Amino acid sequence: MSGSKEKISKRLSYVLRHRPDSIGLRLDQQGYVEVELLLSALARHGDELTIEQLNELVLTNDKKRFSFDPTGSRIRANQGHSINIDLNYDQKSPPPILYHGTASRFVPSIRQRGLLKGQRHHVHLTESRDTAMSVGSRYGEPVILIVRADQMVANGSRFFLSENQVWLTECVPPNHIEFP
């Protein structure tokens, strides 16, 4: 595929998280697709990508967005899906505080309704303020919210950790959010 690694990563994210059907693919239950099928489907749709380029991308991707299965014959996105698949995430005990980066214009609504998962399967949280800051900057003036995971666990919420260290949960009620 011509273009930057970022462009290829975005294209793969689109296909593997949201629209495999856009290039005639189906993902299995765990979100995997055969690497060979992926490469040939991309090629049929005008995006030539070699197996070497794909390996390099998976290895060096800034957020480790993709991973191969243990045999290396299949690939999937690690998180962020809008299509219905079962990633078999490990339920885990989170640190007491997690961060969520958002845009200032969403804050009034979040104060009222809490953090909602929207199109995705979960609300995405991080242990890193820096990551929260850059995620928030995508949509406007960034704001970092502090999520009291400790209080949520005490109230029975479940948390999951994706392979690329994104913390996931169903929703975050407003009373467990500290606003700046």
> Per CB under 6 A, does 18 bind ligand HQG?
no
Name the residue nearer to ligand HQG (CB basis): 152 or 166.
166
Residue bearing tokens 């099928």: 37
Strand runs labelled E in 32-174: 33-34, 66-68, 74-77, 90-91, 97-103, 123-125, 142-148, 159-161, 167-169
Helix (H) or strand (E) holding 150: helix 149-154
> Per CB under 6 A, does 116 bind ligand HQG?
yes
> Per CB under 6 A, does 80 bind ligand HQG?
yes
Q: Which of 2, 4, 91, 118 binds ligand HQG (CB under 6 A)?
A: 118
Q: Which of 102, 121, 147, 159 binds ligand HQG (CB under 6 A)?
A: 102
Mark 140-169 with x for binding to ligand HQG (rule: CB under 6 A) and - for no binding.
--------------------------x---
User: By CB under 6 A, how many residues form the interface with ligand HQG?
Assistant: 17
The Cα 160–Cα 97 span in angstroms is: 14
For the chain, how many residues are written?
180
